[in-house]
Structure 1
Amino acid sequence: MSPAAPQRTHLVERAAELLGGHGGTQDWRTARPDTPPIPEAPARPATVVPPEPPPIASERLQATGLIVAQNGPGRSRAVEEIAVVQHQMLRTVQEGPRSSTPQGRIVVVTSALPGEGKTFAALNLAAAAAGGAAGVVLVDVDGRQGGCSHALDVAGRPGLYQLASDPALRPTTLPLRTAVDRLLFLPHGVGGVAPEPGSRRDLPSGAAMADAILRLASALPRHVIVLDTPPSLSTSEASTLASIAGQVILVVDAERTQRNEVEAALDMLEACPVLQLLLNRVRFSANDTFGAHGSYGAPDVG
Protein backbone atom coordinates (compact mmCIF):
# COMPACT_ATOMS: atom_id res chain seq x y z
CA MET A 1 0.00 0.00 0.00
CA SER A 2 1.58 3.13 -1.13
CA PRO A 3 1.87 6.03 1.31
CA ALA A 4 -0.78 8.75 1.10
CA ALA A 5 0.16 11.77 -0.93
CA PRO A 6 0.77 14.86 1.17
CA GLN A 7 -2.25 17.20 1.25
CA ARG A 8 -1.59 20.23 -0.91
CA THR A 9 -2.30 23.61 0.58
CA HIS A 10 -4.66 26.02 -1.09
CA LEU A 11 -3.13 28.61 -3.41
CA VAL A 12 -4.45 31.44 -1.25
CA GLU A 13 -2.90 29.93 1.87
CA ARG A 14 0.49 29.64 0.17
CA ALA A 15 0.31 33.28 -0.95
CA ALA A 16 -0.48 34.32 2.60
CA GLU A 17 2.54 32.39 3.89
CA LEU A 18 4.81 34.15 1.42
CA LEU A 19 3.44 37.60 2.40
CA GLY A 20 3.16 37.16 6.15
CA GLY A 21 5.58 34.50 7.14
CA HIS A 22 4.23 31.42 8.92
CA GLY A 23 0.77 32.65 9.78
CA GLY A 24 -1.04 30.14 7.70
CA THR A 25 -4.37 31.16 9.13
CA GLN A 26 -3.73 34.94 8.88
CA ASP A 27 -6.29 36.88 6.89
CA TRP A 28 -4.39 37.86 3.75
CA ARG A 29 -6.42 41.09 3.40
CA THR A 30 -4.93 42.50 6.62
CA ALA A 31 -1.38 41.68 5.59
CA ARG A 32 -1.15 44.20 2.74
CA PRO A 33 1.13 47.02 3.88
CA ASP A 34 -0.35 49.55 1.43
CA THR A 35 -3.91 49.37 2.80
CA PRO A 36 -4.55 52.64 4.74
CA PRO A 37 -6.78 52.53 7.82
CA ILE A 38 -10.30 53.74 7.34
CA PRO A 39 -10.55 57.14 9.11
CA GLU A 40 -13.39 57.73 11.49
CA ALA A 41 -15.86 60.47 10.59
CA PRO A 42 -15.17 63.62 12.64
CA ALA A 43 -17.78 64.57 15.16
CA ARG A 44 -20.02 67.39 13.95
CA PRO A 45 -19.78 70.40 16.28
CA ALA A 46 -22.99 71.43 17.97
CA THR A 47 -24.65 74.59 16.68
CA VAL A 48 -24.42 77.38 19.24
CA VAL A 49 -27.29 79.86 19.08
CA PRO A 50 -26.33 83.22 20.63
CA PRO A 51 -28.77 84.44 23.24
CA GLU A 52 -31.27 87.05 22.09
CA PRO A 53 -30.51 90.48 23.58
CA PRO A 54 -33.07 91.86 26.02
CA PRO A 55 -35.58 94.41 24.73
CA ILE A 56 -34.56 98.06 24.72
CA ALA A 57 -35.88 99.28 28.06
CA SER A 58 -38.66 101.85 28.36
CA GLU A 59 -36.32 104.06 30.41
CA ARG A 60 -33.95 104.25 27.44
CA LEU A 61 -36.80 105.05 25.09
CA GLN A 62 -38.06 107.81 27.37
CA ALA A 63 -34.58 109.28 27.75
CA THR A 64 -34.37 109.39 23.94
CA GLY A 65 -37.61 111.39 23.76
CA LEU A 66 -40.48 108.89 23.84
CA ILE A 67 -43.63 110.49 25.28
CA VAL A 68 -46.16 108.08 23.78
CA ALA A 69 -46.88 105.13 26.04
CA GLN A 70 -49.29 102.37 25.10
CA ASN A 71 -52.00 102.18 27.77
CA GLY A 72 -50.44 105.21 29.43
CA PRO A 73 -52.06 106.84 32.47
CA GLY A 74 -52.77 110.21 30.86
CA ARG A 75 -52.78 112.27 27.66
CA SER A 76 -51.28 115.61 26.78
CA ARG A 77 -51.57 118.01 23.89
CA ALA A 78 -48.35 116.65 22.34
CA VAL A 79 -49.55 113.04 22.66
CA GLU A 80 -52.91 113.92 21.09
CA GLU A 81 -51.22 115.68 18.17
CA ILE A 82 -48.92 112.72 17.58
CA ALA A 83 -51.98 110.45 17.59
CA VAL A 84 -53.60 112.56 14.85
CA VAL A 85 -50.45 112.44 12.71
CA GLN A 86 -49.94 108.69 13.12
CA HIS A 87 -53.56 108.02 12.15
CA GLN A 88 -52.99 110.00 8.96
CA MET A 89 -49.73 108.14 8.42
CA LEU A 90 -51.40 104.72 8.72
CA ARG A 91 -54.26 105.82 6.49
CA THR A 92 -51.75 106.71 3.78
CA VAL A 93 -50.07 103.33 4.26
CA GLN A 94 -53.41 101.62 3.65
CA GLU A 95 -54.85 103.89 0.96
CA GLY A 96 -51.92 105.80 -0.58
CA PRO A 97 -50.73 105.56 -4.20
CA ARG A 98 -48.24 102.81 -3.32
CA SER A 99 -50.40 100.97 -0.78
CA SER A 100 -50.37 97.68 -2.72
CA THR A 101 -46.54 97.50 -2.76
CA PRO A 102 -43.83 97.16 -0.08
CA GLN A 103 -42.94 100.81 -0.79
CA GLY A 104 -46.32 101.84 0.57
CA ARG A 105 -45.26 100.74 4.06
CA ILE A 106 -42.07 102.82 4.02
CA VAL A 107 -42.31 106.22 5.73
CA VAL A 108 -39.47 108.75 5.51
CA VAL A 109 -39.28 111.16 8.45
CA THR A 110 -36.85 114.00 7.79
CA SER A 111 -36.36 117.74 8.10
CA ALA A 112 -34.77 120.52 6.11
CA LEU A 113 -32.16 121.39 8.75
CA PRO A 114 -30.64 119.73 11.83
CA GLY A 115 -32.30 120.28 15.17
CA GLU A 116 -35.91 120.50 14.01
CA GLY A 117 -37.10 117.46 15.97
CA LYS A 118 -37.24 114.75 13.30
CA THR A 119 -35.85 111.99 15.57
CA PHE A 120 -38.35 112.90 18.30
CA ALA A 121 -41.15 112.76 15.72
CA ALA A 122 -39.95 109.48 14.16
CA LEU A 123 -39.66 107.74 17.53
CA ASN A 124 -43.05 108.82 18.80
CA LEU A 125 -44.86 108.23 15.49
CA ALA A 126 -43.37 104.73 15.31
CA ALA A 127 -44.38 103.95 18.89
CA ALA A 128 -47.89 105.32 18.41
CA ALA A 129 -48.37 103.45 15.12
CA ALA A 130 -47.25 100.19 16.75
CA GLY A 131 -50.49 100.26 18.72
CA GLY A 132 -52.57 100.25 15.53
CA ALA A 133 -50.44 98.19 13.17
CA ALA A 134 -49.23 94.60 13.06
CA GLY A 135 -45.71 95.89 13.70
CA VAL A 136 -43.40 98.84 13.14
CA VAL A 137 -39.65 98.96 12.54
CA LEU A 138 -37.93 102.25 13.34
CA VAL A 139 -34.71 102.49 11.29
CA ASP A 140 -31.85 104.83 12.18
CA VAL A 141 -30.67 106.01 8.77
CA ASP A 142 -28.95 109.07 10.26
CA GLY A 143 -26.29 107.39 12.39
CA ARG A 144 -24.90 110.65 13.76
CA GLN A 145 -23.10 110.88 17.07
CA GLY A 146 -25.76 111.42 19.72
CA GLY A 147 -28.51 110.16 17.40
CA CYS A 148 -31.10 107.49 18.02
CA SER A 149 -28.75 104.47 18.03
CA HIS A 150 -26.38 106.15 20.47
CA ALA A 151 -29.17 107.41 22.73
CA LEU A 152 -30.62 103.89 22.92
CA ASP A 153 -27.14 102.47 23.66
CA VAL A 154 -27.14 100.11 20.66
CA ALA A 155 -24.64 101.93 18.43
CA GLY A 156 -22.35 98.89 18.55
CA ARG A 157 -25.02 96.50 17.30
CA PRO A 158 -25.15 95.51 13.59
CA GLY A 159 -27.88 97.19 11.61
CA LEU A 160 -28.55 99.07 8.38
CA TYR A 161 -24.85 99.37 7.53
CA GLN A 162 -24.39 95.60 7.53
CA LEU A 163 -27.68 95.00 5.71
CA ALA A 164 -26.70 97.40 2.93
CA SER A 165 -23.16 96.02 2.72
CA ASP A 166 -24.15 92.34 2.51
CA PRO A 167 -27.10 91.55 0.20
CA ALA A 168 -27.06 87.92 1.41
CA LEU A 169 -27.77 88.93 5.01
CA ARG A 170 -31.26 88.06 6.26
CA PRO A 171 -33.04 91.32 7.19
CA THR A 172 -35.17 89.72 9.92
CA THR A 173 -32.13 88.86 12.05
CA LEU A 174 -31.12 92.47 12.80
CA PRO A 175 -34.05 94.50 14.26
CA LEU A 176 -34.04 94.68 18.05
CA ARG A 177 -37.07 94.30 20.28
CA THR A 178 -38.17 97.22 22.45
CA ALA A 179 -40.31 97.58 25.54
CA VAL A 180 -43.11 98.90 23.30
CA ASP A 181 -45.27 96.07 21.96
CA ARG A 182 -44.78 95.42 18.22
CA LEU A 183 -42.08 98.12 17.93
CA LEU A 184 -38.67 97.00 16.63
CA PHE A 185 -35.55 99.13 16.19
CA LEU A 186 -32.87 98.74 13.51
CA PRO A 187 -29.64 100.53 14.51
CA HIS A 188 -27.49 102.33 12.00
CA GLY A 189 -24.60 99.94 12.68
CA VAL A 190 -21.63 101.75 11.12
CA GLY A 191 -19.14 98.89 11.19
CA GLY A 192 -20.13 98.20 14.79
CA VAL A 193 -18.24 101.36 15.82
CA ALA A 194 -19.72 104.76 16.54
CA PRO A 195 -18.66 107.23 13.83
CA GLU A 196 -16.76 110.40 14.57
CA PRO A 197 -18.85 113.59 14.83
CA GLY A 198 -19.81 114.67 11.33
CA SER A 199 -18.12 111.66 9.74
CA ARG A 200 -19.79 109.96 6.77
CA ARG A 201 -16.91 107.62 5.96
CA ASP A 202 -17.33 104.12 4.63
CA LEU A 203 -21.08 104.42 4.25
CA PRO A 204 -22.88 102.32 1.63
CA SER A 205 -24.28 104.15 -1.35
CA GLY A 206 -27.80 105.52 -1.31
CA ALA A 207 -28.83 102.83 -3.79
CA ALA A 208 -27.47 100.10 -1.50
CA MET A 209 -29.38 101.57 1.46
CA ALA A 210 -32.56 101.76 -0.61
CA ASP A 211 -32.17 98.12 -1.66
CA ALA A 212 -31.57 97.07 1.97
CA ILE A 213 -34.71 98.85 3.16
CA LEU A 214 -36.79 97.33 0.37
CA ARG A 215 -35.52 93.88 1.37
CA LEU A 216 -36.45 94.65 4.97
CA ALA A 217 -39.97 95.70 3.95
CA SER A 218 -40.38 92.56 1.82
CA ALA A 219 -39.10 90.29 4.61
CA LEU A 220 -41.57 91.81 7.10
CA PRO A 221 -44.69 92.14 4.95
CA ARG A 222 -46.97 93.25 7.82
CA HIS A 223 -44.67 95.91 9.31
CA VAL A 224 -44.56 99.64 8.70
CA ILE A 225 -40.97 100.82 8.17
CA VAL A 226 -40.32 104.28 9.65
CA LEU A 227 -37.01 105.85 8.56
CA ASP A 228 -35.27 108.49 10.66
CA THR A 229 -33.12 110.03 7.93
CA PRO A 230 -30.57 112.85 7.99
CA PRO A 231 -31.82 116.39 7.16
CA SER A 232 -32.69 116.60 3.48
CA LEU A 233 -30.57 119.72 2.88
CA SER A 234 -27.52 118.17 4.59
CA THR A 235 -27.11 114.79 2.85
CA SER A 236 -28.64 112.88 -0.06
CA GLU A 237 -30.13 109.95 1.90
CA ALA A 238 -33.58 111.47 2.36
CA SER A 239 -33.85 112.37 -1.31
CA THR A 240 -32.75 108.89 -2.42
CA LEU A 241 -35.08 107.07 -0.03
CA ALA A 242 -38.02 109.31 -0.92
CA SER A 243 -38.10 107.60 -4.31
CA ILE A 244 -38.88 104.20 -2.72
CA ALA A 245 -41.21 105.44 0.05
CA GLY A 246 -44.97 105.64 0.18
CA GLN A 247 -44.89 108.94 2.06
CA VAL A 248 -42.54 111.58 3.45
CA ILE A 249 -43.17 113.49 6.68
CA LEU A 250 -41.12 116.69 6.69
CA VAL A 251 -40.68 118.04 10.23
CA VAL A 252 -40.51 121.84 10.27
CA ASP A 253 -39.44 124.00 13.22
CA ALA A 254 -42.24 126.54 13.02
CA GLU A 255 -40.25 129.21 14.87
CA ARG A 256 -36.95 128.87 12.99
CA THR A 257 -37.07 127.26 9.55
CA GLN A 258 -37.46 129.73 6.68
CA ARG A 259 -39.93 129.29 3.86
CA ASN A 260 -37.24 129.02 1.19
CA GLU A 261 -35.58 126.22 3.18
CA VAL A 262 -38.86 124.31 3.37
CA GLU A 263 -39.39 124.76 -0.38
CA ALA A 264 -35.86 123.58 -1.13
CA ALA A 265 -36.40 120.49 1.03
CA LEU A 266 -39.69 119.69 -0.70
CA ASP A 267 -37.94 119.93 -4.07
CA MET A 268 -35.40 117.35 -2.85
CA LEU A 269 -38.22 114.98 -1.81
CA GLU A 270 -40.57 115.34 -4.78
CA ALA A 271 -39.91 111.78 -6.00
CA CYS A 272 -42.29 110.56 -3.29
CA PRO A 273 -45.99 110.71 -4.23
CA VAL A 274 -47.15 111.91 -0.76
CA LEU A 275 -45.42 114.80 1.03
CA GLN A 276 -46.70 115.98 4.40
CA LEU A 277 -45.54 118.79 6.70
CA LEU A 278 -45.37 118.33 10.47
CA LEU A 279 -45.03 121.66 12.28
CA ASN A 280 -43.00 121.36 15.46
CA ARG A 281 -42.63 123.83 18.35
CA VAL A 282 -45.71 125.82 17.42
CA ARG A 283 -46.70 128.43 19.99
CA PHE A 284 -50.44 128.59 20.66
CA SER A 285 -52.15 131.50 22.34
CA ALA A 286 -55.71 130.13 22.22
CA ASN A 287 -57.25 127.71 24.70
CA ASP A 288 -59.00 125.54 22.11
CA THR A 289 -56.07 123.24 21.39
CA PHE A 290 -55.47 119.62 22.41
CA GLY A 291 -55.07 119.29 26.17
CA ALA A 292 -56.94 122.49 26.98
CA HIS A 293 -60.11 120.67 28.16
CA GLY A 294 -58.70 119.47 31.46
CA SER A 295 -56.56 116.40 31.98
CA TYR A 296 -57.73 113.21 30.27
CA GLY A 297 -56.20 110.93 32.86
CA ALA A 298 -57.31 112.61 36.06
CA PRO A 299 -60.46 114.09 37.54
CA ASP A 300 -61.36 117.58 36.32
CA VAL A 301 -61.15 119.78 39.41
CA GLY A 302 -62.47 123.34 39.53
Structure 2
Amino acid sequence: MPAADVLADPGSLRAGLAGTGYLADDGLSTVAWLAHSLQRPLLLEGEPGTGKTALAEALAELLEVPLVRLQCYEGIEASQALYDWDFPRQILHLRAVETAAAAVPGAFPAVTGQDLEADLFDERFLLARPVLRALREAPCVLLVDEVDRADDEFEAFLLEVLSTWTVTIPELGTVRAQTPPYVVLTSNRTRELHDALKRRCLYHWIQHPGLERELAIVRTRLPQVDEALAGQLVALVQQLRTDEDLVKPPGVAETLDWARALHALGASRLDPETAARTLGAAVKYREDAERVRMALERTLTR
Protein backbone atom coordinates (compact mmCIF):
# COMPACT_ATOMS: atom_id res chain seq x y z
CA MET A 1 0.00 0.00 0.00
CA PRO A 2 1.45 3.46 -0.92
CA ALA A 3 2.66 5.61 1.98
CA ALA A 4 0.09 8.29 1.15
CA ASP A 5 -2.70 5.73 1.66
CA VAL A 6 -1.49 4.34 4.99
CA LEU A 7 -1.03 7.91 6.26
CA ALA A 8 -4.43 9.13 5.09
CA ASP A 9 -5.85 9.04 8.61
CA PRO A 10 -5.21 7.36 11.99
CA GLY A 11 -7.38 4.39 11.09
CA SER A 12 -5.40 3.73 7.91
CA LEU A 13 -2.15 3.95 9.83
CA ARG A 14 -3.46 1.53 12.45
CA ALA A 15 -4.49 -0.94 9.75
CA GLY A 16 -1.12 -0.56 8.03
CA LEU A 17 0.76 -1.20 11.25
CA ALA A 18 -1.37 -4.28 11.86
CA GLY A 19 -0.20 -5.53 8.47
CA THR A 20 3.38 -5.47 9.77
CA GLY A 21 2.37 -7.39 12.90
CA TYR A 22 2.23 -4.36 15.20
CA LEU A 23 -1.19 -3.97 16.84
CA ALA A 24 -1.59 -0.37 17.99
CA ASP A 25 -4.61 0.93 19.89
CA ASP A 26 -6.56 4.03 18.83
CA GLY A 27 -4.57 6.39 21.04
CA LEU A 28 -1.18 5.28 19.79
CA SER A 29 -2.16 5.18 16.13
CA THR A 30 -3.64 8.69 16.42
CA VAL A 31 -0.58 10.26 18.02
CA ALA A 32 1.70 8.45 15.57
CA TRP A 33 -0.33 9.82 12.67
CA LEU A 34 -0.27 13.34 14.16
CA ALA A 35 3.51 13.17 14.61
CA HIS A 36 3.87 12.56 10.88
CA SER A 37 1.24 15.10 9.82
CA LEU A 38 2.59 17.87 12.05
CA GLN A 39 6.24 16.88 11.50
CA ARG A 40 6.81 16.62 15.23
CA PRO A 41 8.97 14.09 17.07
CA LEU A 42 7.06 11.38 18.92
CA LEU A 43 8.14 10.70 22.51
CA LEU A 44 7.06 7.30 23.83
CA GLU A 45 7.37 6.44 27.50
CA GLY A 46 6.37 3.25 29.26
CA GLU A 47 7.62 0.12 30.93
CA PRO A 48 10.27 -1.90 29.08
CA GLY A 49 8.82 -4.43 26.67
CA THR A 50 5.63 -2.54 25.84
CA GLY A 51 6.48 -2.03 22.16
CA LYS A 52 8.07 1.42 22.01
CA THR A 53 11.06 0.43 19.90
CA ALA A 54 8.94 -1.99 17.89
CA LEU A 55 6.70 0.89 16.78
CA ALA A 56 9.62 2.67 15.10
CA GLU A 57 10.62 -0.57 13.38
CA ALA A 58 7.05 -1.14 12.21
CA LEU A 59 6.77 2.43 10.89
CA ALA A 60 9.96 2.06 8.87
CA GLU A 61 8.72 -1.22 7.42
CA LEU A 62 5.29 0.21 6.66
CA LEU A 63 6.59 3.40 5.04
CA GLU A 64 9.37 1.48 3.24
CA VAL A 65 12.06 3.89 4.44
CA PRO A 66 15.36 3.27 6.24
CA LEU A 67 15.38 2.90 10.02
CA VAL A 68 18.27 4.83 11.57
CA ARG A 69 18.80 3.90 15.21
CA LEU A 70 20.62 5.94 17.85
CA GLN A 71 21.05 3.90 21.04
CA CYS A 72 21.56 6.24 23.98
CA TYR A 73 23.67 5.39 27.00
CA GLU A 74 25.26 7.12 29.96
CA GLY A 75 28.04 9.45 28.82
CA ILE A 76 27.07 9.58 25.14
CA GLU A 77 28.34 12.74 23.45
CA ALA A 78 27.07 14.75 20.52
CA SER A 79 29.94 13.60 18.30
CA GLN A 80 28.90 9.97 18.79
CA ALA A 81 25.42 10.83 17.55
CA LEU A 82 26.38 13.32 14.87
CA TYR A 83 29.66 12.76 13.06
CA ASP A 84 33.35 12.10 13.51
CA TRP A 85 36.45 12.08 11.37
CA ASP A 86 38.20 8.90 10.31
CA PHE A 87 41.53 9.72 11.92
CA PRO A 88 43.36 6.50 10.92
CA ARG A 89 42.50 7.08 7.24
CA GLN A 90 43.48 10.75 7.54
CA ILE A 91 46.89 9.78 8.94
CA LEU A 92 47.40 7.19 6.19
CA HIS A 93 46.50 9.81 3.59
CA LEU A 94 48.94 12.29 5.12
CA ARG A 95 51.75 9.74 5.12
CA ALA A 96 50.97 8.78 1.53
CA VAL A 97 51.26 12.41 0.45
CA GLU A 98 54.55 12.81 2.33
CA THR A 99 55.96 9.55 0.90
CA ALA A 100 54.99 10.44 -2.66
CA ALA A 101 56.51 13.90 -2.37
CA ALA A 102 59.76 12.53 -0.92
CA ALA A 103 60.09 9.73 -3.48
CA VAL A 104 60.07 12.03 -6.51
CA PRO A 105 61.27 15.49 -5.45
CA GLY A 106 59.80 18.24 -7.58
CA ALA A 107 57.32 15.96 -9.32
CA PHE A 108 54.39 17.28 -7.26
CA PRO A 109 53.33 20.90 -6.90
CA ALA A 110 53.97 22.45 -3.52
CA VAL A 111 51.15 21.74 -1.10
CA THR A 112 50.37 24.42 1.44
CA GLY A 113 49.26 23.62 4.96
CA GLN A 114 45.85 25.10 4.16
CA ASP A 115 45.45 22.88 1.10
CA LEU A 116 46.50 19.81 3.07
CA GLU A 117 44.07 20.59 5.88
CA ALA A 118 41.22 21.03 3.40
CA ASP A 119 42.15 17.71 1.81
CA LEU A 120 42.22 15.94 5.18
CA PHE A 121 38.76 17.20 6.11
CA ASP A 122 37.20 16.10 2.86
CA GLU A 123 33.84 14.34 2.63
CA ARG A 124 35.50 10.95 2.09
CA PHE A 125 36.95 11.03 5.61
CA LEU A 126 33.66 11.91 7.29
CA LEU A 127 32.02 9.26 9.47
CA ALA A 128 28.31 10.01 9.58
CA ARG A 129 26.70 8.97 12.86
CA PRO A 130 22.92 8.31 13.22
CA VAL A 131 21.63 11.89 13.48
CA LEU A 132 23.62 13.13 10.48
CA ARG A 133 22.66 10.00 8.54
CA ALA A 134 18.99 10.62 9.27
CA LEU A 135 19.18 14.21 8.03
CA ARG A 136 20.90 13.08 4.84
CA GLU A 137 18.81 9.98 4.17
CA ALA A 138 15.40 11.48 4.96
CA PRO A 139 12.70 10.44 4.42
CA CYS A 140 13.53 7.87 7.07
CA VAL A 141 12.61 6.91 10.62
CA LEU A 142 15.09 8.09 13.24
CA LEU A 143 14.81 6.04 16.44
CA VAL A 144 16.42 7.68 19.49
CA ASP A 145 16.22 4.74 21.85
CA GLU A 146 16.29 5.07 25.66
CA VAL A 147 16.94 8.81 25.60
CA ASP A 148 16.50 8.85 29.39
CA ARG A 149 19.91 7.17 29.73
CA ALA A 150 21.69 10.21 28.24
CA ASP A 151 22.58 13.33 30.23
CA ASP A 152 21.28 16.91 30.16
CA GLU A 153 23.87 18.16 27.67
CA PHE A 154 22.91 15.50 25.17
CA GLU A 155 19.25 16.38 25.59
CA ALA A 156 20.08 20.01 24.77
CA PHE A 157 21.90 18.89 21.63
CA LEU A 158 18.93 16.79 20.53
CA LEU A 159 16.55 19.67 21.17
CA GLU A 160 18.55 21.95 18.88
CA VAL A 161 18.67 19.40 16.06
CA LEU A 162 14.97 18.53 16.36
CA SER A 163 14.05 22.21 16.28
CA THR A 164 15.95 23.13 13.11
CA TRP A 165 16.60 19.82 11.30
CA THR A 166 20.06 21.17 10.53
CA VAL A 167 23.59 20.33 11.58
CA THR A 168 26.66 22.45 10.96
CA ILE A 169 29.98 20.77 10.22
CA PRO A 170 32.61 23.55 10.50
CA GLU A 171 34.88 22.02 7.85
CA LEU A 172 32.11 21.28 5.32
CA GLY A 173 29.16 23.55 6.01
CA THR A 174 25.53 23.08 6.99
CA VAL A 175 23.49 19.93 6.37
CA ARG A 176 19.73 20.45 6.25
CA ALA A 177 17.12 17.73 5.87
CA GLN A 178 15.07 18.29 2.74
CA THR A 179 12.29 16.28 4.38
CA PRO A 180 12.33 16.05 8.19
CA PRO A 181 12.81 12.46 9.35
CA TYR A 182 10.05 10.74 11.29
CA VAL A 183 11.58 10.84 14.79
CA VAL A 184 10.61 8.40 17.54
CA LEU A 185 12.19 8.88 20.96
CA THR A 186 11.73 6.20 23.62
CA SER A 187 12.17 6.42 27.37
CA ASN A 188 11.86 3.85 30.15
CA ARG A 189 11.62 6.77 32.58
CA THR A 190 14.74 5.94 34.55
CA ARG A 191 14.88 9.73 34.97
CA GLU A 192 12.62 12.62 34.09
CA LEU A 193 13.29 14.31 30.76
CA HIS A 194 13.42 18.09 30.63
CA ASP A 195 10.26 20.01 29.82
CA ALA A 196 11.94 21.72 26.84
CA LEU A 197 12.42 18.39 25.05
CA LYS A 198 8.93 17.19 25.97
CA ARG A 199 7.37 20.40 24.63
CA ARG A 200 9.06 19.83 21.29
CA CYS A 201 7.50 16.38 20.99
CA LEU A 202 4.11 14.77 20.89
CA TYR A 203 3.88 12.52 23.93
CA HIS A 204 2.31 9.12 24.53
CA TRP A 205 2.51 6.69 27.44
CA ILE A 206 2.35 3.08 26.29
CA GLN A 207 0.67 0.81 28.80
CA HIS A 208 0.71 -2.95 28.98
CA PRO A 209 -2.10 -4.19 26.74
CA GLY A 210 -5.24 -5.81 28.05
CA LEU A 211 -5.81 -9.54 27.78
CA GLU A 212 -7.60 -9.53 24.43
CA ARG A 213 -5.10 -7.26 22.68
CA GLU A 214 -2.08 -9.10 24.10
CA LEU A 215 -3.56 -12.40 22.98
CA ALA A 216 -4.11 -10.92 19.53
CA ILE A 217 -0.46 -9.78 19.48
CA VAL A 218 0.78 -13.28 20.33
CA ARG A 219 -1.46 -14.87 17.70
CA THR A 220 -0.38 -12.32 15.08
CA ARG A 221 3.34 -12.50 15.79
CA LEU A 222 3.50 -16.23 16.62
CA PRO A 223 0.76 -18.02 14.67
CA GLN A 224 2.63 -21.31 15.11
CA VAL A 225 1.96 -21.33 18.88
CA ASP A 226 -0.98 -23.50 19.97
CA GLU A 227 -4.06 -21.34 20.63
CA ALA A 228 -4.82 -22.98 23.97
CA LEU A 229 -1.23 -22.46 25.10
CA ALA A 230 -1.29 -18.81 23.98
CA GLY A 231 -4.51 -18.21 25.90
CA GLN A 232 -3.15 -19.79 29.10
CA LEU A 233 0.14 -17.94 28.86
CA VAL A 234 -1.37 -14.51 28.26
CA ALA A 235 -3.84 -14.99 31.11
CA LEU A 236 -0.96 -15.94 33.39
CA VAL A 237 1.16 -12.95 32.38
CA GLN A 238 -1.78 -10.62 32.91
CA GLN A 239 -2.22 -12.04 36.41
CA LEU A 240 1.49 -11.68 37.21
CA ARG A 241 1.38 -8.00 36.28
CA THR A 242 -1.62 -7.19 38.46
CA ASP A 243 -1.51 -9.63 41.38
CA GLU A 244 2.19 -10.17 42.02
CA ASP A 245 4.49 -7.48 43.39
CA LEU A 246 7.29 -8.01 40.88
CA VAL A 247 10.43 -5.91 40.56
CA LYS A 248 10.09 -6.04 36.78
CA PRO A 249 6.75 -7.31 35.48
CA PRO A 250 7.04 -9.08 32.11
CA GLY A 251 6.24 -6.92 29.10
CA VAL A 252 4.81 -7.98 25.77
CA ALA A 253 8.32 -8.74 24.54
CA GLU A 254 8.75 -11.20 27.41
CA THR A 255 5.35 -12.78 26.70
CA LEU A 256 6.46 -13.40 23.12
CA ASP A 257 9.81 -14.81 24.25
CA TRP A 258 8.07 -17.12 26.73
CA ALA A 259 5.66 -18.31 24.05
CA ARG A 260 8.58 -19.03 21.69
CA ALA A 261 10.38 -20.99 24.42
CA LEU A 262 7.31 -23.09 25.21
CA HIS A 263 6.67 -23.76 21.52
CA ALA A 264 10.30 -24.79 21.02
CA LEU A 265 9.81 -27.42 23.74
CA GLY A 266 6.74 -28.71 21.96
CA ALA A 267 4.30 -27.63 24.68
CA SER A 268 0.62 -27.45 23.80
CA ARG A 269 -0.61 -26.56 27.27
CA LEU A 270 0.93 -24.75 30.22
CA ASP A 271 1.83 -26.84 33.25
CA PRO A 272 3.80 -25.82 36.38
CA GLU A 273 6.91 -27.84 35.51
CA THR A 274 7.29 -26.58 31.94
CA ALA A 275 6.45 -23.01 32.95
CA ALA A 276 9.05 -23.10 35.73
CA ARG A 277 11.75 -24.48 33.41
CA THR A 278 11.18 -21.70 30.89
CA LEU A 279 10.72 -18.90 33.40
CA GLY A 280 13.99 -17.23 32.41
CA ALA A 281 12.40 -16.10 29.16
CA ALA A 282 10.04 -13.79 31.06
CA VAL A 283 11.49 -13.05 34.49
CA LYS A 284 14.92 -11.49 34.97
CA TYR A 285 15.25 -11.09 38.76
CA ARG A 286 15.78 -13.86 41.33
CA GLU A 287 13.20 -12.33 43.67
CA ASP A 288 10.64 -12.25 40.87
CA ALA A 289 11.41 -15.84 39.91
CA GLU A 290 10.60 -17.03 43.44
CA ARG A 291 7.30 -15.15 43.50
CA VAL A 292 6.33 -16.40 40.05
CA ARG A 293 7.10 -20.03 40.92
CA MET A 294 4.75 -19.80 43.89
CA ALA A 295 2.13 -18.16 41.67
CA LEU A 296 2.51 -21.00 39.15
CA GLU A 297 1.83 -23.56 41.84
CA ARG A 298 -1.30 -21.70 42.93
CA THR A 299 -2.60 -21.00 39.44
CA LEU A 300 -1.72 -23.98 37.27
CA THR A 301 -2.41 -26.77 39.77
CA ARG A 302 -6.01 -25.76 40.40
Do the structures match in fold with TM over 0.5? no
Shorter-chain TM band:
0.3 to 0.5
With structure 2 as the length reference, what TM-score do the two structures score? 0.35
Q: Quick check: which has more Rg, 1 or 2?
A: 1
With structure 1 as the length reference, what TM-score do the two structures score? 0.35
